[in-house]
Amino acid sequence: MLDACAHCADRRDGGYQTAERRWAGLGPYYAMFPAAFADATVLRYSEPGDSILDPFAGRGTSIFSAAIHDRVGVGVELHPVGWVYARTKVHPAPQKKVLERLHRIGRMESRYGDAAGRLPPFFTAAFSSPVRRFLLAARKNLNWRNDRVDRTLMALLLVSLHGKAGAALSNQMRQTKAMSPDYAMRWWADREMRPPRLDPVTFIEPKVAWRYARGIPHTRRSVIRYGDSTRLLARLSEAAPRARLLFTSPPYYGVTNYHYDQWLRIWLLGGPPTAARQPRGPHAGKFSDQIAYGTLLTRVFMQSARLCRRDATVYVRTSDEPVTYAATRSSLRAAFPTHELVRRNRPVEHSQTRLFGQSSARGEVDLVLHAA
């Protein structure tokens, strides 16, 4: 088992000296727990062998922390990008097989010249011709849902799909989110910026090498389902061990549309080549209906309660904004009526609401429920 104290100390000093630390940060993604915070929570409120449940798993920070500390993580994530990151870092494929698959995809690139020419103008402005062909080959041939090698390679491609000039496959972009195509094209045109001409296989190889330089994490087998918690939690009720810790952070009311902000990475996973704002399913967009939002949280936490031990601890990070906070607190009270609730204020620097540009953001709150 990993030496937990040494591992946490390594995270505090900002190093990447262990495989666990290097893989913990896989994938740019909003609204993620800091790894050190997840480690501390998992170690404080659970024991080796315990099950830890996260019904809003995101990129799987809580599940990863559980897995590296000899706990069994059980999670559900609706967003495909977050799910690919989460599944990959908990159980990455061997480096040799990932590199072999990278080269096979590279050899398929020439088949996609015509398709690359038919992409919307944004793609021509964002990626050079060899990169467009390579991305189409990856999009078509990587079976990320069902194959561990393909999923690992896809996760590494998603990380480098867009970002700062010289650090990604794209023209200058943000790494955390994809901008509107029209905005990006105007921005590039005003600055006469062109996509980098590079060989995608040669570009990705050292990034794979860096990720694997310390090996792969030693993890306990964990489960992260892809889909809607309101449906999937019921299917876990028979097979999953009862959770000692429910540890999660639900989506915040009115903050962002995770599908829109990740539209380009979703395209690489097989989605449309447009930045459509329409959510995919009832829970995929930016929440703007208070009743629907409260109903979602109540359904998920009620179903989660059936998967928890009677003496389980519930640890939920949420926003201090009135709608989000009230709905989260109310749904937890309904799901765990005999637990005692403690509120802990968090620094504003780590707030999702401040992250998304809301200047009125007051920070985040941890709601901790203990069995009475």
Number of DSSP helices (H) and strands (E) in the chain, helices first: 18, 7
Residue 366 lies in a domain: yes
Domain identity same for 225 and 363: yes
Q: Mean pLDDT throughout 99-127?
A: 97
Domain presence at residue 109: yes
280 within domain boundaries: no
Domain residues for the domain of 69 are 4-89+221-253+288-371
- The H-assigned helical ranges of 336-370 are 352-355
**Domain-embedded: residue 282:** no
Residue type, 327: A
Kindly tell me if the per-residue pLDDT of 14 is higher than 90.
no
Tell me which of 183, 212, 241 is where a domain ends. 212
From 158, 179, 212, the end of a domain falls on 212
**Pair 127, 59 in one domain:** no
Is residue 49 within 8 A of residue 71, CB to CB? The reply is yes
Q: What is the DSSP string of 263-302?
A: HHHHHHTT--SS---S-SSTTSS----HHHHHHHHHHHHH
Q: Can you give the pLDDT at residue 287?
A: 57
Domain boundary (188, 212, 236) is at 212
Residues 62 and 194 in one domain: no
- Give the whole-angstrom CA distance, residue 315 versus residue 54: 10
Query: Is 159 among the domain residues?
Result: yes
Reduce the DSSP state of residue 156 to 3 states and report it.
helix
103, 198: one domain: yes
Q: Both 365 and 239 in a single domain? A: yes
| Mean pLDDT calculated for residue range 171-183 | 93
Length of the chain: 372
Structure tokens at 227: 């889909």
Cβ within 8 Å of residue 249, ≥6 positions away: 31, 33, 56, 58, 316, 317, 318
**Number of folded domains in the chain?**
2
Sort strands 243-248 and 51-54 into parallel, antiparallel or unpaired. Answer: parallel
Task: Please say if the pLDDT value at position 73 is more than 60.
Answer: yes
Please check whether residues 240 and 363 belong to one and the same domain. yes
Give CA–CA dist 263/269, Å, rounded.
10
**368 and 344 Cβ atoms separated by less than 8 Å:** yes
- 77 in a domain, yes or no? yes
* pLDDT score of 356 more than 80: no
pLDDT band of residue 11 (cuts 50, 70, 90) is very low
Tell me whether residue 261 is in a domain.
Answer: no
- CATH number, domain of 367, equals 3.40.50.150
Whether residue 110 has pLDDT greater than 60: yes
Residues 364 and 242 in one domain: yes
The verdict on 174 and 230 lying in the same domain is: no
CA separation for the pair 308, 237 (Å, rounded):
10
More confidently predicted of 192 and 1 = 192
Q: Domain check: are 138 and 202 in the same one? A: yes
Q: Is the pLDDT of residue 350 over 50?
A: no
8-state DSSP, 172? B
Same domain as 180, residue 82: no
Q: Looking at the domain assignment, is residue 278 inside a domain?
A: no
Whether 226 and 328 share a structural domain:
yes
Residue 199 and residue 77 share a domain: no
Reported as a pLDDT band with limits 50, 70 and 90, residue 259 is: confident
For the cut 80, the answer to whether the pLDDT of residue 237 exceeds it is no
- Percent above pLDDT 70 for the chain: 85
Contact criterion met (CB below 8 Å) for 162 and 126:
yes
Give the model confidence (pLDDT) of 179-215 as tens digits. 899 999 999 999 999 999 999 999 999 999 999 999 9
Q: Given this model, what pLDDT does residue 30 score?
A: 62
Long-range contacts of 294-298 (CB under 8 A, 24+ apart): 294/327, 294/330, 294/331, 296/230, 297/250, 297/327, 297/328, 297/331, 298/330, 298/331, 298/334, 298/335
